[in-house]
Structure 1
Amino acid sequence: MTSPAIAAQVLAANRRFYDALEALDAGAMEACWASSPAPACVHPGGPWQRGWEEVAAGWDAIMSATGYIEFEIADAVVSIVDPVAWVTCVERITSAVGEGGQTAVAEVAATNLFVLDGTGWHLALHHASPVIRPALVDE
């Protein structure tokens, strides 16, 4: 059984990750990640990024091309096998697009894997994939 207190810690670490991204704060983003083992990340439609240099470069590219981004996290489920935990969730992303500042909304399925160290839970893996909705069939 997952301890509610530990699950809350993992969810707080998960939220810090999204808060860092919403703030477009590279330093806060780096603080979310584990220093070991080597972190890995894949964004929808992108290649695997392995090691902090590649992961950081990927986030820097996203942050430098983003004027506004907001995450609503839905369907978050925490699983823990101490000292590892993961959160599976749906990211509902609102971001500014185009010159006119219109917003777009997308849904992405994400898995965030955390490792526990002496200072708390830190990301070791972020994997995100587009959500594919089944087509509705007329009856």
Structure 2
Amino acid sequence: MSDASEIIAANAAFYVAFAAGDFVALAAVWSDQETISCIHPGWPAIVGRAGVIGSWREILKNAARPQIVCADPYAIVDGDHGRVVCIELVDGAPLAATNYFRRVDGAWRMVHHQSSAIAQFAASVDDQTEHGHSIH
């Protein structure tokens, strides 16, 4: 499996765990390092494993948490670092998201997540770049 495919799989595991409300699986996607960070939409930056993982625990505890679907994921790999840019459909509303990963002991682990509102989302063949990726 290529690095890009492995990062896409790790990214998918993150969204599957969120959808299932599986805190243990979601926490396992993240690196154990204290340098991890996260910016939830409308929140200030959170830095450090306890704060980041704690924020996800609180979100997953909420019975009214939104349904999130990852659309159009695209992996960018640079050695032992990579990121997935994608669209998060949060209860149907689009957010732009970036999930950063680092290879840790041979496995891709998330080190940063950020999502934010976008003004417009249109997925069509006309929006393809010369590399065949959607413009967000």
Amino acid at match of 1:60: R
Query: Relative to structure 1, is the Cα distance of residues 26 and 47 closer, same or farther in structure 2, using a 3 angstrom cutoff?
Result: same
Q: Give the whole-Å Cα distance in 2 for the aligned partners of 1:127 and 1:5.
A: 24
Unaligned segments of structure 2, at least 5 residues: 122-136
Equivalent runs, 1:4-19 vs 2, <5 Å: 5-19=2-16
Query: Contact 1:22–1:70 (CA<8 Å) still a contact in 2?
Result: yes
Residue 37 of structure 1 and its aligned partner are, at CA, apart by 5.3
Q: Give the whole-Å Cα distance in 1 for the aligned partners of 2:58 and 2:38.
A: 13
Aligned to 2:29: 32
Q: Tell me the alpha carbon deviations over residues 104-136 of structure 1, each in whole angstroms, 9 at most, x when there is no partner.
A: x221110000000124100000011012129xx
Alignment of 1:113 with 2:110, yes or no, is no
Q: Give the whole-Å Cα distance in 2 for the aligned partners of 1:36 and 1:68.
A: 27
User: Quick one: percent identity of the two aligned structures?
Assistant: 29
Query: Contact 1:22–1:68 (CA<8 Å) still a contact in 2?
Result: no
Aligned to 1:74: 71
Query: Contact 1:16–1:32 (CA<8 Å) still a contact in 2?
Result: yes
Unaligned segments of structure 1, at least 5 residues: 95-104, 135-139
- Secondary structure of 2:35 counterpart: coil
How high is the TM-score relative to the length of structure 1?
A: 0.79
The alignment covers a number of residue pairs equal to 121
Q: Which has the larger radius of gyration?
A: 1
Q: Tell me the alpha carbon deviations over residues 62-101 of structure 1, each in whole angstroms, 9 at most, x when there is no partner.
A: 111134654332222111111000000001123xxxxxxx
Residue 25 of structure 1 and its aligned partner are, at CA, apart by 1.3
How high is the TM-score relative to the length of structure 2?
A: 0.81
Aligned to 1:51: 48
Greater strand proportion: 1
Q: Give the whole-Å Cα distance in 2 for the aligned partners of 1:47 and 1:75.
A: 26
RMSD over aligned CA atoms reads: 1.8
Aligned to 1:124: 111
Which of 61, 64, 88 matches 2:85? 88
Amino acid at match of 1:108: L
